[in-house]
Chain A
Amino acid sequence: MIISIASGKGGTGKTTISVNMALALGAGVELLDCDVEEPNAHLFLKPKIERSEKVEVPIPLVDLDKCTFCKKCSDICRFNALAVVGKQVLVFQELCHSCGGCMAVCPEGAITETGRELGFLNFGARDGIGFINGRLRVGEAMSPPLIKQVRAAANPQRITIIDAPPGTSCPVIAAMSGADFILMVTEPTPFGLHDLKLAVEAVRLLGIPCGLVINRADIGDRKVFDYAEKENLPILLTIPFDRRIAEAYSRGKNIVEEFPEWRQRFTELFRKIEVIITERGGAAHA
């Protein structure tokens, strides 16, 4: 079962919900931090990192001895990542989308592939909770291929909880597609509502069931609640604003550990999600 935790707007508490749900469920779940630009979940789960793996994407390597400078490679490249200038073939690594087109088109077989470092995958665990995160290299623009690698490394036998990046564009789609359920975390403010609407559109495009967590539920106004009702989005958990929670968070402390009464609520949150998935015909994965 894959549950992806998302939110249009950043800073609504995605990571808090992901980590606390993982902690409440305990051994047997796996938490994937797919916010590879700014991974934070490890700061709260505090897993022991057991190993790291470098992630690369293929980019072309041109053998100038074989090259006839026919320009077929630069013509096919839609991303302006190749230029044939005189007796040189320039590869602009950071623009390459690794589509393999240049290699396929080269009539001389002059192109092979080498790697460009995207970032790292880190694997760890805490109290039987599996943990994987991706860390995008600073200066690297393309996060979706790294997010796909984090997803690919997950253990399909376990309940997977994904901490997704904010927004509604390609990185979020990479973190949500193929999930059994998407839990949206929002706050009842005009920014929260506006970005939630965009995120719901994205989820509907993917055709995945979703529900809401409303964080800091008593700040702002009632418009998020009205929207949820109108759109038939179940509100699965509300968390009031509590300065103690905010302060605990600032020190890297978790709600279920500091305020034990919350453990039950996070387990219930998961049960409600399970019921919705079962009603929809069950999880596509174990």
Chain B
Amino acid sequence: MREIVIISGKGGTGKTSLTAAFAALAKNSVLCDADVDAADLHLLMQPVIQQMADFMGGSKALINPDLCTSCGTCIDLCRFGAISEQFQVNAIRCEGCGVCVDFCPEAAIGFPVQRCGEWYISDTRFGPMVHARLGIAEENSGKLVSLVRKEARQLAEKRGADMIITDGPPGIGCPVIASIGGATALVIVVEPTVSGIHDMERVVDLAAHFKVPGMVCVNKFDLNVEMTEAIEKLAIRRNIAVLGRVVFDPAFTRSMVEGKTLFEYGEPTATRQQVLDIWTQIIKSPSMNTLGIVDLKSTIQ
């Protein structure tokens, strides 16, 4: 199953708006929102939830005061400063290592599994979607990302979809690593700013580290054309395919306000054509067609 993951390193580059626009163009795909920490794709997709399940993450320590003799062993052993002088566990600080649980001489510490969020399989006007919501201040976002991607893959196989379109998280840390491993290709959305190019380099390094082919498109390119050129040069130097440019267009924000994708808002525009060209490039790219035969034609509506 082919999966493209749309990431950006830096947030706010228009990654989710573009993902939604691609979803509107793809005919037979499964959508996956892997930005579980600040999931936004559903605001444009208005998914109708068909199936919902709890996401059980790690466990956290819980001291039973009736059994505790205040011996202090747990405080000495906890490397995360999660146990107070009053022998209470601070759930936000607790890393879930369970060391205190195993060493408490009175067996006074329980280790209940935590419900860290929930995940959903939904229907949208562009096909099925797998998404999730991580609880506030939770850990284990990488684990939840892996889970939604696995579910999206199963669903795509079951429904005979051509591909999975995944909206990835920002950054280069644990959730991003979980969202790119095993992907067919990454589409990196960059904005032409000093921070945009800086963050793109880090994402390109990450893609190289995990050996996932990358492609890049510059959004809002007209804010700084020189920087756009610098980004494209960098991409070529790093062996990253350049997909194209999208103009700075307030229509993205306006369509977002209406809960629509770019292709459902207003009249056809030059911006739409740019996005369509980029999508065509993605579909035809060698990374998506490893046998050299372009067999994804059917995925453009």
| CB <8 Å contact, A168 and B99 | no
| CB <8 Å contact, B9 and A38 | yes
Which segment, of B138-146, B233-241, B274-282, faces chain A?
B138-146
The CA-CA distance from A36 to B170 in the complex, in Å, is 12
- B110 within 8 Å of A (CB atoms): no
The CA-CA distance from A38 to B191 in the complex, in Å, is 14
Q: Closest B-chain residue to A144, C-beta based?
A: B139
- A271 within 8 Å of B (CB atoms): no
- B273 within 8 Å of A (CB atoms): no
Size of the chain B interface, CB-CB below 8 angstroms? 61
Write the nearest CB–CB distance from B98 to chain A, whole angstroms.
5
Which A residues, 72 to 95, have Cβ-Cβ distances below 8 Å to chain B? Answer: 76, 78-79
Q: 10 additional contacts, CB 8 Å, given A170-B141, A251-B224?
A: A40-B194, A43-B194, A105-B102, A136-B173, A170-B138, A190-B40, A191-B40, A205-B136, A250-B194, A250-B196
- Mask, A43-75, CB within 8 Å of B = 1, is 110000000000000000000000000000000
Which A residues, 1 to 56, have Cβ-Cβ distances below 8 Å to chain B? Answer: 8-12, 15, 36-38, 40, 43-44
The CA-CA distance from A15 to B170 in the complex, in Å, is 15
User: Which of A11, A98, A201, A246 is packed against the most chain B CB atoms within 10 Å?
Assistant: A11
- B285 within 8 Å of A (CB atoms): no
The CA-CA distance from A9 to B199 in the complex, in Å, is 16
- Mask, B222-234, CB within 8 Å of A = 1, is 0110010000000
Contacts of B209 in A (CB 8 A): 138-139
- Mask, A222-253, CB within 8 Å of B = 1, is 00000000000000000000010011011110
Closest 4 A/B residue pairs (Cβ) = A11-B12, A10-B11, A99-B97, A37-B171
Q: A-contacting residues of B (Cβ < 8 Å)?
A: 9-13, 16, 37-38, 40, 43, 58-59, 77, 79-80, 92, 95-99, 102-103, 134, 136-139, 141-142, 169-177, 191-196, 198-199, 202, 205-206, 209-210, 223-224, 227, 248, 250, 253, 256-257, 259
Write the nearest CB–CB distance from A244 to chain B, whole angstroms.
11
29 A-B residue contacts at CB 8 Å? Answer: A12-B11, A12-B12, A15-B195, A37-B171, A37-B172, A38-B9, A38-B198, A40-B195, A43-B195, A76-B99, A99-B79, A101-B99, A105-B102, A139-B209, A141-B142, A141-B177, A167-B38, A170-B137, A171-B173, A173-B92, A173-B137, A191-B43, A194-B40, A205-B137, A206-B92, A220-B256, A243-B223, A250-B191, A250-B194
